[in-house]
Structure 1
Amino acid sequence: MVFDVLENGALTNLCFETYKEPEQDSEPETQNAYLIFHSYGQYWIYPLEFALHMPDDYIELKNKATIGFKTLKRVNETLYKIESAANLLYESAGGSNDWTESISQIKYVYTVELHPPDDMNDAHAHFTFILPLTFIERVEQETYAGLIGRILFNYLTTKYQVFGLDQHTNISPKYQLEYRDPIKAKPILPLSLDKFFQYDITDRIKLHKIIQEQKIETIIHLEAIGETDPDIEKISRVNIEGTKNVFEAPGVRHIIYASSVITVFGYLTREPYLSILNGTFDDTTMLKDLRKLTIADDPPIPDLQTPGNIAYSQSKIIGKQMATDIVKNSSKSIICARFGWINV
């Protein structure tokens, strides 16, 4: 039997998860990192799987996994074990991690075994593969945070002086870690406290005081309360009032604002996007109506599925409008980036 893997069900529009590449590993996202999400055990695993000996770059692999884990831990204090697959679990042949690391030459290869832990002394261990909905939402939140933190930290700290501002003292790799030399294998050291500031984003006076004293000119604004928080008023207050405080901070010249793809989720109630969501999209009849949504031509339509989704998406839409107004009336530059989601 011959399978036409790039025919039915594959799209040429790179905005969709069924986008077909021109060839294997043609996209930059597939050339640098390979992540598998699985359950369960709470392990952060890297190659090798088939043998107990370590790959040549195991120190760097473990270091980057540690950065990701410490960022993940900040959300719910979830603990992960970090080690090669064979040494942490058992030797196994035929795994995609080993093939990807050795044949495809992709540098960062990991399997993340999610909650619950593989520890019968833990109260959640009996869930094994069948995790209640409330825990699924929790795992999604902390895992996403780990990915963002690792990528952002690794990139920025090699080029710039980075300050961390957050509500809790134990959450950000900006102040917990500094760049580790994988060759010399130096221990991971905490950043000095003068590079991290504990504050509440709704405390306008304290926020502006920190920014002025440290002469911060560029801000990447990621702080927000998500749609799963039961306090609807808190979502709106923190996300709108807090963002306004960041945008109006004195001395700041450039801001990157983390908006969200949820601000256009309302389009999923319309064709042809509804058919894509439901898995009924027909290439032969509907492809002509498919186009990329743009900020210029397509106004935001918030997600109306739950009160939390409404509050969160509307707060991000208001944030974008505040940014537009500030840019028009000042010399500040604000980039609004609609973050997507992770398909696992």
Structure 2
Amino acid sequence: MMLLWTFCLLGAAEAAYTRADLDLLRAAERALESSAADLSHHRGYLAYLDSHPEIAEAEDAYTELMKLSSFRRAVEPFQEALLRDAEAREAFDKYCLALAEREDVRRAVEDVHRCELAERRPPAGFPAAMAYLRAHPDEAIRFLENPSRPVPTPAPLATTLGFFETRPALRAELLDPFLELSRDARARTHVYPWWAMIEARGNATAQAYDRLMRYLVARPSRFWLWHGRNIALASDAHARHWIDHWHQRVRRNPDLARRYWPYLRQAREQGPVQREAAVRWNEAFGEAGPWPPESNPPTLPPLAAPETPPLNWPRLEDYVPKNAAGPNGRPKMPAFDFPKFPEMPKLPALPPMPEPKRPKRSPGASDNPAKSDD
């Protein structure tokens, strides 16, 4: 009976997808089944999302973003750097936790980001100026009240001084959330340290975060989805670390890296291919075990840069003749032998053209002016 049910599911899968989609899903399944550890993480991850609907909603939106190659190129370096920087990871977890637990803190932080995202054509130094204001919130209050007050003006603010002086409405919108955060002890212990760390440190984590923010600021809708996921996962930091670890494993599997995100979306929607796979895996391995594990996730080796084929540039010696050296030690350039073309055959001489015969005319008045009537 179970075999018949499996064949029915296979028939439904064939009818529900195009051939290209079905090939992609089957390839992702084969990649998962080739590693018992990867398959265990995948099944545990799905089971965790099924039991945590509030996190599953944010993860589903994040999966849609991960299907975009441009977003993956922006967010993955930050994830890789964060998992190798324990101090930054702890500060980021505390920052997200404060936003998740305190609505007033989250609202103030989001108001700051909203002002930055609303500027459609900011000056070139605007992102650096905003990062400086977040990293120095007390100085930011003085600057936003009167841009000429900080003397000397810090370099990140000096490049945008004229811009802020002519935008009193923007300064007022930024001043209110900064004042609200300055009165909150939780903001000073959880929000300010992350802002200061990411602006002051020039390490790989700070650089990756800066590139990610520049990408997201230009695409506000993607920023809010990424931001919302961080807040949703803040309630379970241990699960967040294991989810990020599982995403790390996906990136390191070349057969999964490009196929997993479309496959995961279909798996969450319980398509016929995924239902058939779930039946097969339950028969072979039993129900998915508890996930995430109680231990901390192991550290994986750094993600290797994509290999690019070497460029076989032509060598100079391939073009320099290998003959005896001439004056000054330079090789003699060979004389160029022009090809000898066969002589053109001579054409026979043409006979001379006969002179045309002109009719004789009797002389008239026009020919003999002496005979004129005058």
Q: Which has the higher strand share?
A: 1
TM-score norm. by structure 1 comes to 0.23
Q: Which has the larger radius of gyration?
A: 2
Q: Which has the higher helix share?
A: 2
**Larger RCO of the pair (alpha carbons < 8 Å, separation 6+):** 2
